[in-house]
Amino acid sequence: MDAKIVLLGAPGSGKGTQAKRLCQELGLTLISTGDLLREAVRKNTPLGVKAKGFMDAGKLVPDELVIGLIKEKVAGLKGGFLLDGFPRNLEQAKMLDTIAKVNMAVDLEVDEQIIVDRIVNRRSCKQCNEVYHMVAKPTRMEGKCDKCGGETYQRTDDTEAVVRERLRVYKERTLPLAKFYADRGILIEVDGQGEIDEVYDRILAAIKKFKH
């Protein structure tokens, strides 16, 4: 399936969780700018050093840094892909147009109170980026990823104060992208609330329906 999908939605709307499953099922390459940036921070690369302060403060990393990453990953890619966390503003969306033709934009819609609960309870695997929720989806062994045994941790930007700033930035910069893609007739809005499996089935059904 040669789908080129962007996954929109607020932080904590379930993009990362759903993106992994969708890519497995549909055979798409997953590109998550958040995961790529966190890896750069962990490895202390020049990009990571520049990006860290913005990420810890809940701000967007400057476009020129993120755009470089995306160009490197998307250019030369064969087949379909799913972008998680990119584009985050109109400038990035316009840049993306110059390197690929996106054919679906899936927007996961979740109430703000639920988002805050999900994010402050989120734990992520340092090794494979799998995501857990302390109450709704805990690891079997405390602090250890079920999938790879890696150490789980709380992202430095997953505290309540930083979440509020991330949500503010989302509304101001990222939300307008829904209209950008709706104007092209490729926006697919999906209710992102409920169980992970339920949301996953909804997304898959919406994608399949859209294609026909």
Residues making up the chain, counted from first to last: 212
For the question of residue 42 being annotated catalytic, the response is: no
For the question of residue 155 being annotated catalytic, the response is: yes
CB of 79 to ligand AMP, least distance (A): 22
Chain Cα centroid distance, residue 7: 7
* CA-based nearest residue to 119, from 10, 12, 9, 8: 12
For the question of residue 173 being annotated catalytic, the response is: no
Can residue 66 be called a binding residue for ligand AMP (CB under 6 A)?
Answer: yes
How many CB atoms neighbour CB 107 within 10 A? 22
Identity of the residue, 34 or 48, whose beta carbon is nearer to ligand AMP in the bound complex:
34
Identity of the residue, 63 or 210, whose beta carbon is nearer to ligand AMP in the bound complex:
63
User: C-alpha distances in angstroms, 114 versus 10, 59, 117?
Assistant: 11, 21, 5
15 vs 9: CA distance, rounded Å = 7
Span interacting with ligand AMP, options 53-61, 125-133, 137-145, 204-212, rule CB under 6 A: 53-61
Of 5, 55, 177, 190, the residue at the interface with ligand AMP (CB under 6 A) is 55
The catalytic residue positions are 15, 88, 122, 155, 166
